[in-house]
Amino acid sequence: MWKQRPRWLQGLANPVFARLYLAQTVNLVGESFTWLGLALLAFELAGEQSGTILAGALTLRVLAFVVLAPIAGAIADQIDRKRLMIITHLVRMGIVCLLPFITQPWHIYGIVFLLNVFYAFFTPTYTATIPLVTTEEECPKAIALSSATYQLLGVLGPGLAGSIAALVGTRQVFFLDAITFLVAALLIATLPGQLRASDSTLADSRTDLNPVKTVIQNIKAGTGCLFTDPPMRYALMLQLVAAIAGAQILVNTVGYVQGTLQLGKLEYGWVMAAFGIGATLAAINLGNARKKNNPILLASGGAVLITLTLASANFVDWAGLLLLWALAGAGQTLINVPTQTLIASRVAKEAQGRVYGAQFAWSHFWWALAYPLAGWLGNYAPGYYFLYSSLIGGGLLIVVSLWFKPQRLTGLQPGLWHEHEHTHDEHHSHDHSTHRHSHFHFHDTITPGLRDSASV
């Protein structure tokens, strides 16, 4: 039956991934309820100052991701990921149940930070679990499907949440939000067995370390692996290019549509929907591809596309902006999905949690830099902020391309970053009974004997 379905949906033939994916979809619906409800609640409490509250909440969200995602990824490689995802959902269920009872704007900051502490633990764990429950052939389709669903619900979710909020009331919508987290937790609980990725030998070797040292060691290993591998490092830098453009779109589109073009909220909503639809269609096409595309070429093309779309955005009408933002959304996907695919294909499964956690943190750190830049350009370059953002992103893209030489990266040998217990030769031998440790090696999968070509 699944052979007759579109290729991008064929990953759902895997029953374990299908349940994991359904849990993530329900989780994303809950996220839509959360943020729509928070926006309405902020306006209820602060009126026209609600934008300031939401800006602060978004800053806390990014801060939680940057600080905690590497820790989450490190922990995800050591324990049962199923248990960790269930806990994050149940705790968030309890937190959102507090939202109907808040009476002060500062309450929103505390609750948003707590919510995103646990969201920062869930997301890299979920991403790292996809390669664990899928085959090598299924994995790229599964990642693309997850990305398409994320983008699609980013477009449709707020509308759905707004309609329900209109029926049940702003504060009551948070109780429905809590139910979505409970359903997602129950779906994950039905997954068979444990979802552990750690190699048993290495796991045993870490029992001699205290938990804090183990987590610190794993954070360093994940970040070091991400920045040591040339293709993954290049893709991460392209995510900075994408963040510069994406932040500009999220921050200044409303001013351009409602200010410069003198249009209304409906037109603004359609423009942002075009961005999400473009991202969704690009993800579907990646999942539907009949042959493996080189992730370096895809990410490079996406960076060029999203940079060029901004160059003329200050000089088009509403219809032109619809087209440009659809192309920009496609460019975002062409960078983000291949970046995740690279990690899945170049890092052994027992180490992917740490690397995904590091990637999640660094990519959100780029946004933490890009948001203030977008705000500054909006204030000090009125009428040309999209153009200047394009020039900044284009200049960065040129520097990154000259530095990393992506044409060489496309020809690198396939292989895996894999963790080994640390050993010494006869000239550097000492007792590891109390200080056993491990490090990463990159193994060339073409060369017989798995030759080490790099290490962290």
pLDDT level of residue 183 (50, 70, 90 thresholds): very high
* b/e map 309-338, b = 16+ CB within 10 Å: bbbebbeeeeeebbebbbbbbbbbbbbbbb
Q: Where are the domains of the chain?
A: 1-197, 200-423+434-456
pLDDT of amino acid 202 = 38
Domain with residues 200-423+434-456, CATH architecture? Up-down Bundle (1.20)
- Of 232 and 287, which is predicted with more confidence? 232
Q: How far is CA 317 from the centre of its chain?
A: 32
What is the arithmetic mean of pLDDT over 6-12? Answer: 67
| pTM reported for the whole predicted model | 0.71
Task: Kindly calculate the radius of gyration of the chain based on its CA atoms and give it in whole angstroms.
Answer: 22
Measured CA to CA, the distance from residue 231 to residue 296 in angstroms comes to 7
Domains 1-197 and 200-423+434-456 equal at CATH topology level: yes
Sign for the pseudo-dihedral over CA of 273, 276, 282, 288:
negative
Q: With 90 as the cut, is the pLDDT of residue 310 above it?
A: yes
* Cα 261 versus chain centre, distance: 32
Q: What is the pLDDT of residue 402?
A: 92
What pLDDT shows up at residue 87? 93
pLDDT at 160: 73
For the segment 236-276, what is each residue's pLDDT rounded down to a tens digit?
999 999 999 988 887 788 788 878 898 876 787 788 888 88
Q: Are 280 and 153 in contact (CB under 8 A)?
A: no
**Nearest-CA neighbor of 402 among 244, 237, 225?**
237
Confidence of residue 51 (pLDDT cuts 50, 70, 90): low
For domain 1-197, give the CATH number: 1.20.1250.20
Is residue 201 very low, low, confident or very high in pLDDT (cuts 50, 70, 90)? very low
Give the mean pLDDT of the chain.
Answer: 78
Q: What is the pLDDT of residue 199?
A: 47
pLDDT score recorded for residue 129: 86
